[in-house]
Amino acid sequence: MKKIIFSSILILLFIGCNNKTNTKVSSKNESIEYKVDSVLKLMTIEEKVGQMNQYNGFWDVTGPIPEGGSAEKKYEHLRKGWVGSMLSVRGAKEVRAVQKIVVEESRLGIPLIIGFDVIHGYKTLSPIPLAEAASWDLEAIKNSAKVASAEASAVGINWTFGPMVDVSRDPRWGRVMEGSGEDPFLGSRIAEARVRGFQGDDLSATNTIAACAKHFAAYGFAEAGKEYNTVDIGTSTLHNVVLPPFKAAVDAGVRTIMNSFNELNGVPVTGSSFLQRDILKGKWNFDGFVISDWASINEMMNWGHAKDKREAARIASIAGSDMDMEGNVYIEELAQLVKDGVVKESILEDAVRRILRVKFELGLFDNPYKYCDEAREKEMIGNPKHHKTVLDMAKKSIVLFKNENQLLPLKRKGQKIALIGALANDKTSPLGSWRIASDDETAVSVLEGMQAYKGNKLTYVKGADVFIGKQSFLKEVIVNKADKSTFNKAIRVARNADVVVMVLGEHGFQTGEGRSRTNLQLPGVQQELLEAVYKVNKNIVLVLNNGRPLAITWADKHIPAIVEAWQLGTQTGNAVAQVLYGDYNPSGKLPMSFPRNVGQVPIYYNYKNTGRPIDKDGNVFWSHYSDVDKTPLYPFGFGLSYSNFEYSDLKIDGTSFKIGDDINVSVNVKNTSSVDGKEVVQLYIRDLVGSITRPVRELKGFELTKIKAGETKTISFTLNKETLGFYNNNGNYIVETGDFKIFVGGSSTKTLEVNFELK
Ligand code: BGC
């Protein structure tokens, strides 16, 4: 009882010192700073360490269970006020129960912040993030994050571990499905959109949640695409490719950052002062807090950077990791380290100040139960409006690779259609691997989506399994036997069909964390199935379901129509069917290059020219491969439509500019077809000579625009010093004079160009 009275006094004290709480996301709020300080003054060292301690809820586990993580101990620590946050507790009732323990039983009653991986939705799922990135539609991406917030905030969650803003050039890495692909500019714009979608304009609103840009930094550059592997990259790549999306997220007001499992150039990033103190909190002035990745503080011992937990706690806290995710290291070691004078109390205070700041901004001190309204939970989860938004996002994410002989859109009547492939009838795989809260079998399958179109005779045959093995979120069992019992039936049905639609690709659990692959072809016997069907019927529409770029070189050569449909979430089947039948005209463009084979990896559009870029006189001594073309199969920015677009009249308002001038560029884009469509007009630059060599192309602007059949639109861009410069090897942004090229077009390779000089 005494404790309850104390908590209430604390709250009254705050109300007294500031009558109105204004918890806007971005600007520092004086009244919040005052409140944070007054709470901090009341805290013991143990309570401060407690705020830096995050425990996992007692059921969902996303990593190995660290020693000593028992439920009893966690309950005891909650009562003592030794826990600042919980992850993966969900449900209005459940979160209320856990929140009640700290608010009513701990000495100071400081509410918990409740985190969860709301990566592309909570229950109602949007496409996987890589697919969303293919839409290049920032408004749609923002709306998709809003849906995720609306559902998550209704089940007690007030903090998502998203967006993942790791740039990656390596499709072997399973987590490319969680990011926005290979480009820092597109990645930055999407990072901003997602942060704004999750956090809204007002973090204290009940339907917004704090975002977390992760994984800081360079996790996407794991050597050989192997999960959790070492990262060794140069300063130019770090500053120009890896860091920009994090900076964009910080500038957009992201309230938290997660560090990562990898080391960077010999230092595990969880213990990197350079990244966390110098860059993030120093140069970028980030005033939110940093959470470790799952037990990544402990993992510094395995890396050989800390000899024991005590050393790991010292290194991580001093380096600026503010909260320990389920590692039990801070709670066990940090108080003693402070008492021994090894870690200054000011380190704790800085971390706690950051954590409390975000809790105040969320409005948790005003009402710790604000996200725990069961009536709202009922109304929000699976709300029909959410289904509408994720369907819209799913359609926008689809990329058309090939459409020979206008095989697509499909005719609506009188056709015999064979639908083949296990994924066509899969209601789980399209949900992807990051969907802890959604239920199995809840996606609309492609079969169901196509059944909604009644004019044709549709026959479904599985043909073969997708992959050789059984997988779940946590377990992976590999067996070398695929079910081929309906292989021959598939061939029979295909032989008699007018059109064959084959849905092939990866199972939902073949990408994501821990799912690195060395083979980028269609898994299992799917390639065999595709070739066997092709022998009896060449009219094939291949619909790909996958979470990473695949090497589908054979299919590209032989199959007349190819549709990249990723893992599109809850509304997958409806989105695919509407595109196949032409009720939706696809406009997606690739956010990541597709290689011809795995040996080309890493392959990306913004590569360096090298000293020997071209083959003069048929010599062998130039930068290429002897056994395969050096270009990707499908480049970054590529994607077709049922419309055709023609680019002309690329203009620039001068040929010579001073640093600081605005440079205006325009281009005409004509829809030469008879169908209305949308096009992503892309602008790239090349800085021809740099003190640090510059990539052959760099995306610096894009516009998604609707163009009616026959219509010509003029699209304008403005370049300025924010877009023309780069980071030097000291991490300073500079703009250099000299000659530049501008390229504008509908992909990174098919472009018009003009030149200018910067003086
Ligand atoms: C992942 C993070 C995730 C965390 C909590 C880790 O294994 O790397 O991205 O947020 O688990 O689930």
Hey, what are 620's tokens? 């062998």
Which tokens is 33 given?
């700073």
pLDDT in tens, 564-582: 999 999 999 999 999 999 9
Nearest CA to ligand 1 atom 4: 294
| Mutation to probe ligand 1, out of 120, 159, 161 (largest number of atoms < 8 A from CB) | 161
Residue 294 confidence (pLDDT): 97
Q: Is the CB of 171 under 6 A from ligand 1?
A: no
Kindly report, residue by residue over 16-29, the tens digit of the pLDDT.
Answer: 333 333 333 334 68
pLDDT tier for residue 1 given thresholds of 50, 70 and 90? very low
> How far does the centroid of ligand 1 lie from the alpha carbon of residue 267, in Å?
20
User: Mutate which of 88, 173, 212, 294 to test ligand 1's pocket (most atoms within 8 Å of Cβ)?
Assistant: 294
**7, pLDDT greater than 90:** no
Q: What is the mean pLDDT of residues 88-93?
A: 92
Q: What is the pLDDT of residue 30?
A: 82
Q: 292 CA distance to ligand 1 centroid (A)?
A: 9
Centre of ligand 1 to C-alpha 591, Å, is 23
CB-ligand 1 contact for 161 (6 Å cutoff): yes
Express each pLDDT in 724-734 by its tens digit. Answer: 999 999 999 99
pLDDT-derived band of residue 106, with 50, 70 and 90 as boundaries? very high
Residue 676 has pLDDT above 80, yes or no: yes
Span from the CA of 165 to the centroid of ligand 1 (angstroms)? 13
62: Cβ below 6 Å to ligand 1? Answer: yes
Please report the pLDDT score of residue 58 as a whole number.
Answer: 66
Mean pLDDT of all residues in 221-232: 98
Is the backbone peptide bond immediately before 368 cis, with ω within 30 degrees of 0? no
Token pair of 458, please? 């549709």
Look up residue 242 and give its DSSP letter. Answer: I
261 CA distance to ligand 1 middle (Å): 10
Confidence of residue 178 (pLDDT cuts 50, 70, 90): very high
Whole-number Å distance between alpha carbons of 584 and 565:
13
- Residue that is written with structure tokens 């999306």 in the block: 245
Ligand 1 pocket test: pick from 61, 62, 215, 216 the residue with the most ligand atoms within 8 Å of its Cβ: 62
Which of 114, 293, 436 to mutate to test ligand 1, by most ligand atoms within 8 A of the CB atom?
293
pLDDT score at 154:
98
Q: Which residues pair with 501 in a beta bridge?
A: 419, 541
Q: Is the CB of 214 within 6 Å of ligand 1?
A: yes
Rounded Cα–Cα distance for residues 635 and 657 (Å): 31
Residues β-bridged to residue 543: 503, 563
- Determine whether 426 is an active site residue: no
Catalytic residue chosen out of the listed positions 137, 293, 373, 465: 293
Q: Whose CA is nearest to atom 2 of ligand 1?
A: 293
Span 236-269, pLDDT tens digits: 999 999 999 999 999 999 999 999 999 999 999 9
CA nearest ligand 1 atom 10, residue: 161
What is the Å distance from ligand 1's center to 515 Cα? Answer: 14
Position 250 scores a pLDDT of 98
User: Is the predicted pLDDT of residue 179 greater than 50, yes or no?
Assistant: yes
Query: Is the pLDDT reported for residue 369 higher than 60?
Result: yes
- Whether ligand 1 lies within 6 angstroms of the CB of 182 is answered as no
pLDDT tier at 537, thresholds 50, 70, 90: very high
Task: Quickly state the pLDDT bin for 482 (edges 50, 70, 90).
Answer: confident
**Does residue 327 have its Cβ closer than 6 Å to ligand 1?**
no
183 Cβ inside 6 Å of ligand 1? no
Average pLDDT, the chain: 93
Ligand 1 in reach of 175 Cβ (< 6 A): no
Q: Does the CB atom of residue 513 touch ligand 1 within 6 A? A: yes
Kind plus residue range of the DSSP H or E element containing 313: helix 309-319
CB 523, CB 429: distance < 8 Å: no
Ligand 1 centroid to residue 296 C-alpha, Å: 10
Amino acid in position 334: L
For strands 712-719 and 698-707, give the pairing. unpaired
pLDDT tens for 37-87 read 999 999 999 999 999 999 998 654 445 555 555 778 888 999 999 999 999
Q: 603 C-alpha vs ligand 1 centroid, how far in Å? A: 27
Q: Reply yes or no on whether the pLDDT at 14 is more than 80.
A: no
Closest protein CA for atom 8 of ligand 1: 293
From 260, 291, 513, the mutation candidate for ligand 1 (largest count of ligand atoms within 8 A of CB) is 513
- The answer to whether residues 454 and 577 touch, using CB atoms and an 8 Å cutoff, is no
Looking from the CA of residue 162, the nearest atom of ligand 1 is 10
Q: pLDDT of 181-200, one tens digit each?
A: 999 999 999 999 999 999 99
For residue 270 and ligand 1, the question of a CB distance below 6 A is answered with no
pLDDT digits 0-9 by tens, 716-753? 999 999 999 999 999 999 999 999 999 999 999 999 99
Per-residue model confidence (pLDDT) at position 480 = 60
**Per-residue pLDDT averaged across 323-350, rounded?**
98
| Residue 294, ligand 1, Cβ within 6 A | yes
* Residue 469: band (very low, low, confident or very high) from pLDDT cuts 50, 70, 90: low
pLDDT at residue 175 is higher than 80: yes
Distance 67 CA to ligand 1 centre (A): 18
Cα dist. 342→297, 299, 304, 338, 396 in Å? 17, 21, 21, 6, 54
Helix (H, G, I), strand (E, B) or coil at 167: coil
Query: How many angstroms is it from 270 CA to the middle of ligand 1?
Result: 14
Q: Which atom of ligand 1 is nearest to the CA of 178?
A: 9
* 326 within ligand 1 shell (Cβ under 6 A): no
pLDDT of 274 > 60? The answer is: yes
For residue 24, what pLDDT is reported?
Answer: 31
Predicted confidence (pLDDT) at residue 381 exceeds the cutoff of 60: yes
> What count of residues does the chain have?
759
Q: Which residues contact 469 (CB under 8 A, 6 or more apart)?
A: 476, 477, 478, 479
Segment holding 670, helix H or strand E: strand 663-671
H helices of 453-571, in order, are 487-495, 526-536, 553-558
Query: In this structure, which residue's CA is closest to atom 12 in ligand 1?
Result: 62
Ligand 1 binding pocket mutation candidate from 61, 117, 128, 228 (most atoms within 8 A of CB): 117
Beta carbon of 160 within 6 Å of any ligand 1 atom: no
Mean pLDDT for 479-491 is 85
Q: Which atom of ligand 1 is nearest to the CA of 161?
A: 10
CA of 92 to the centre of ligand 1 (A): 22
Strand-pairing partners, residue 561, are: 403, 541
Cis amide bond preceding 490, omega within 30:
no
Q: How confident is the model at residue 285 (pLDDT cuts 50, 70, 90)?
A: very high
Report phi then psi at 665, rounded to 5.
Answer: -125, 140
Token pair, residue 580, equals 């196949």
- Mean pLDDT computed over 348-364: 98
* Rounded (10°) angle between helices 184-199 and 244-251: 30
Q: What percent of the chain has pLDDT over 90?
A: 89
Q: Closest by alpha carbon to 389, among 681, 720, 662, 144?
A: 144
Residue bearing the CA closest to ligand 1, atom 6: 294
Atom of ligand 1 nearest to the CA of 261: 8
Q: Is the pLDDT of residue 689 over 80?
A: yes
Report the separation in Å between the CA atom of 364 and the middle of ligand 1, taken as the mean of its atom positions: 24
